Chains A and B, each alone.
Chain A
Amino acid sequence: MKRHFRVWRGDASGGDLRDFDVEVNEGEVVLDIIHRLQATQTPDLACRWNCKAGKCGSCSMEINGKPRLGCMTRMSTFTEDETITITPIRTFPVIRDLVTDVSFNYEKARETPAFAPPPGLAPGEYRMQQVDVERSQEFRKCIECFLCQNTCHVIRDHDENKPAFSGPRNFIRAAELDMHPLDDRTDRKEFAQASQGLGYCNITKCCTEVCPEHIKITDNAIIPMKERVVDRRYDPLVWLGRKIFRRDQLESAENMAPSTTVGVAGTSGGTTLGASGVPHSSVRLPESAPIGPDGRMDVAELLAPQQGGLSPFGEDISFPLPPEYITYTHPERDKNQ
């Protein structure tokens, strides 16, 4: 039987909701309907999808106004006469139809300092107890569908907060590493507060509501991180102790997380440069896709300068790297300890 759909079609220059009547069969999900639309009425309808099993996080869209995965929204949850409205996720710039440019999330992820094992511990020597890593493992379930980023009103309704706010997905990353038994960095709380904009969150829990992996983002990651920041920053006893013993100056000189974000309260923004003019952090600057002189990407891969997708390391890098180019320094045990 046919059901009524409204699908947003257009691109950055504009667009609108178009009406379609599409055949729906038993057991189908919204993504099946998108595919049927592509097969029958609108062969050029753009939609990002991959696994159809709720594990790749590609088919994020808004179905009847709610951020959902297209492949995990069963058609049986709607009544037969219900009009189903499908729009791209709102928070990010649209590329075409249901496809949006989610690079904001990757830029923010790149700014987060990576896992740092303790000095002297080589890969392969990591030993930890299940009870210690359990909390971090919950956050590893994240499929990066960015529904939480999309629904978070801090950036959804206030685009101007994007430079200062990393979003729930990156808060669970921060919590994952801060709770990790083998992570040796001690400044993750300061980083979350100063560079990720943890203070912008007002814990209205929409991220938890939309998470298709049912990660308790607010209760298990954001609130614990807020409490950890309170430990460091808003605890008057700790503050007094630091003032008396002058520990605040010592610590800030040693491991102050550089704020890579412009606009965060109390920071100047920009990556701090070392003496050699090389950024301290291993943060790689965002790269855009290869674009021709007309400002557009090549029509087909066959005409592109290289086949396949872009290397995540940049197209001008070949492996193995000469040793002097490697910025990784393996932590070594301090001889004085």
Chain B
Amino acid sequence: MGELLKVERLQIAFRGDQGETISVEDVSFAIQPGETMAIVGESGCGKSVTSLAIMGLLGASGSIKRGYISFLDTNLTAASEQQLRKMRGSQVSMIFQEPMTSLNPVMPIGRQIEEALRLHLKSSRKEARQSAIDMLRKVGIPRPETIAKAYPHMLSGGMRQRVMIAIALICQPKLLIADEPTTALDVTIQAQIIELMQTLQAENGTAILLVTHDLGVVAAMADHVAVMYAGQIVEAADVYTLFRSPRHPYTQGLMNSIPRLDAISGGRAPAIPGQVPSLHEMPTGCRFHPRCPYAEASCRELQPELMETGDRHRVRCWLTETSEADQIAVHRDTRQKVAL
């Protein structure tokens, strides 16, 4: 089976007061039908911008400068606005981080769900209402007939995120883009939403592009993971490989800095020093080198490419080329022992 979505050497720029800034640089990945691909990274790393680019929702100030996005063998970067609209909400849909503000406050919930059906499948008012109620029931909303007539402010954050999922999945899209779907929710509600997305994915075979900063959510849901730092993918692998043997120093740092529940309290988390660089003052060479404990002279001067290191594991680091990669892995093991 071919790829559902293929993103190839994508570069995205935004026009602003200080001229043009490149917020995403040389991003390539692919999603197979039905799988879950996660993009992980910190704020400003370009993960949300990448997902908006797939939707064609970069807005007036953003544009794709280079590379292409193909979805079901259609080149989206060359598609007309009308073609993109036809695809949005029917083939690809999206849920967002803020369930509190992502629903129209003055429109009843049922109508917000029906809208896409009426638009894309040309359903009648009655059919659409029935499908909306069925969908609300599917996403676990109690008393769906009543809730369809209710307004968003009457629902809790978790319930609103369920409504967002209902809106996104009503036309049975092939791809669901979930941008920090659980970040604004309480942890108990997070667990409910993750379970719901997984159930619906299994039922409909929807592929999910999960955009998040939360490695816990990634570990719970993803099949493949791409780690982004400062606008670039720095490491990509299947989820087990990535968590078992992360090879990029940034990925390793991220994993080490999560306080683990199975660690001892009162210990210290090995933090990554320094700050995420701003888009206006990107470091030369490897973008992570000012924070990297292993940086060498070459890292300061030359930008590494994302290189295949075997078994679909790609890493953007000079050190993985040499035997030092293994040293890093060893180093990490010892550090873990120290932490214990």
Do A and B come from the same complex?
Answer: no
Hey, which bits of chain A sit against chain B, CB under 8 A?
none
Interface residues of B, Cβ cutoff 8 Å to A: none
